[in-house]
Amino acid sequence: MEPINRTYAPLQAFVEELVRCGMTHAITSPGSRNAPLALVLAAQPGIEAVSIIDERSAGFVALGMARESGRPVAVTCTSGTASANLLPAVVEAHEARVPLIVLTADRPPELRDTGAGQAIDQVKLYGSMVKWFVEVGNHDPGRESAVHHRALGCRAFATAAGGRPGPVHLNFPLREPLTPVREELDPRPWAGRDDGRPWVTSQDPARVPTTELVCGLAARLAGRRGAIVCGSTAEDIAAPAARLARATGWPLLAEPTSGLRCGGHDRSHVIAHYDLLLRSERFAAEHAPDVVVRLGDTPTSKPLRAWLQGVAQIVVDPHAVWHEPTRTAQTMVVADAAPTCASLAAALEGGAAPRVDGWLESWRARDALVPPALAATPAGFEPRFAAALAEALPPEATLWVSSSMPIRDVEAFFPQRPEALRFLANRGANGIDGVVSSALGASLTAGGPCVLLIGEVALVHDAGGVLAAGRLAAAPLTIVCLNNGGGGIFDFLPLAREADAALYEEHILTPTGVELSALASAAGLPHTLASTREQLEEAVRRPGLVEIRTDRQLNITARRDLYQAVAGALEAPLGASPSPSPGH
């Protein structure tokens, strides 16, 4: 690596250390003050740098990459409001435990608070949303600067990825020259370690439960009526969680982003449609558990959260984040979920723990009632399209699920499948901002097809992401948009009944009025209008924007009828077919 000049050489040392630590991707946005950062990232061997014009979109593209790959991704922008536009992605990265390295360019101290353009206070701009902030400072060129920047790169990578993963923020007050004009610099002081190792290596300690803890927990689980609730997690817990389910004889209530609902592992204990089952007060009461083991974040389902209230819960969380909105958990296990499940299963298998007769079978038999009830609903019912993706998605595909109704419909209706499908979503802060951009980032690192399921309000909210997807023609992203003419999720809230109808329509539902075919054309994306399952299956085989137009009123009535049909089937003797929804 030949140092360029006094501004670029420290950044070259810093970025080279990021690569030595394992970084492979970076996002840049255009600017003058951050030109040294952007050009160094783009020129660095081992980094694939992607240019995104809109900083808000750029932040979420980086987040999507890091969420999919599990590796820290760098994102850089120029000074001023550009850096403020990264805040939403920083917030999501913090809440969702996604490793992100934010590199903001800034004016040097002598140009701050002087009326210079694009100069705002960027010191600790993101507050408590970042794990670590550092004002990098200005240093004379030489060995001391090189060592400082190399150690800084290692610490930034290790801090973002280690412990509870999250974003870090480095603010670079860059002076001239901002252009890569060559200066006479001796390359020897700028060199890294000869063997290619990082300047500093960092090791996270193993987070495994003690033998004493495992034995105590196993005694609390043996012979009890229980369940294993699996939410979103970055760990691969499918095999050990399935083993624990076998050892206990318990159902696995698996939210799709847990990685347990689909795949080649043992799915004999997986319950996919717990959201609908637990809407029945009678079923929920009859299936009240003695104890619940929770892995990953709490699923979105409100009926599930209500069912968990008052239940003795054992929450396994390697980062002690206390992701426990019910506030009734009795035990927090600060350990990785995979070894915890494996150790508990081994302890229970060795003790030949007694089973509760018929407990698992009752869950499985009722879970099987939901698909035929869904099949009896009208063809244009939105959850049918969410469930249809189970057949439409190719093996090894990634499905990014938007907030609002899509994540709820996928949780409630997506069936378990033997194909290894991966589910991702922004469920840290649960916002609809940056969803397209996040899915775009995931598509660039997933190594296979990536499909986004989204509503039209969230789609238009991130129009910058749609434009970026069109600009990056190589991105294998297919956007499936359920267009019901507004924020349909609000129709299920008391707000829809109590508010003035006209004001509710304009200020809450907010129909976008955007012709999605025109948006796709502006972005250079193919547009397909699909209205049947067959058309959807054909359209998701190639990148582009797939629009499915649905009726909001139909979704309200069909959903109510479906819940009633499932409740009726749950109260009927097992073996009886669920009655068709009234009028269908």
SS3 for 152-213 is HHHHHHHHHHCCCCCEEEEEEECCCCCCCCCCCCCCHHHCCCCCCCCCCCCCCCCCCCCHHH
Q: Do domains 211-364 and 370-570 have the same CATH topology?
A: yes
Residue 385 near residue 482 (C-beta atoms within 8 A): yes
Question: Any idea what DSSP says for residue 578?
Answer: P
Distance CA 218, CA 223 (A): 10
Which one-letter amino acid corresponds to residue 185? L
Residue 370 near residue 225 (C-beta atoms within 8 A): no
Q: What is the CA radius of gyration of the chain?
A: 26
User: For the domain with range 370-570, which CATH number is right: 3.40.50.2300, 1.10.3720.10, 1.10.599.10, 3.40.50.970?
Assistant: 3.40.50.970
What is the sign of the dihedral through the CA atoms of 118, 124, 125 and 130? positive
Distance CA 149, CA 279 (A): 56
Give the global pTM. 0.94
- pLDDT by residue for the chain (584 residues), tens only, comes to 789 999 999 999 999 999 999 999 999 999 999 999 999 999 999 999 999 999 999 999 999 999 999 999 999 999 999 999 999 999 999 999 999 999 999 999 888 888 777 889 999 999 999 999 999 988 889 999 999 999 999 999 999 999 999 999 999 999 999 999 999 999 999 999 999 999 999 988 889 999 999 999 999 999 999 999 999 999 999 999 999 999 999 999 999 999 999 999 999 999 999 999 999 999 999 999 999 999 999 999 999 999 999 899 999 999 988 878 877 888 999 999 999 999 999 999 977 556 788 999 999 999 999 999 999 999 999 999 999 999 999 888 999 999 999 999 999 999 999 999 999 999 999 999 999 999 999 999 998 999 999 999 999 999 999 999 999 977 899 999 999 988 878 888 888 888 888 898 888 888 889 999 999 999 999 999 999 989 999 999 999 999 999 999 999 999 999 999 999 999 877 654 444 443 33
Beta-sheet pairing, 252-254 with 226-230: parallel
Distance CA 146, CA 139 (A): 9
Give all strands of the β-sheet with 527-529 in edge-to-edge order: 422-424, 398-401, 450-455, 477-483, 544-549, 527-529
Written as six digits, the tokens of 54 are: 């809109």
> How much of the chain is helix, strand and coil, in % rounded to 5?
45, 15, 40
Q: Which CATH class is domain 211-364?
A: alpha beta
Distance CA 263, CA 279 (A): 27
Residue 452 near residue 60 (C-beta atoms within 8 A): no
Q: Which of 398, 409, 455, 397 is nearest to 273 (CA)?
A: 409
Question: Which CATH number does 8-190 carry?
Answer: 3.40.50.970
Q: Where are the domains of the chain?
A: 8-190, 211-364, 370-570
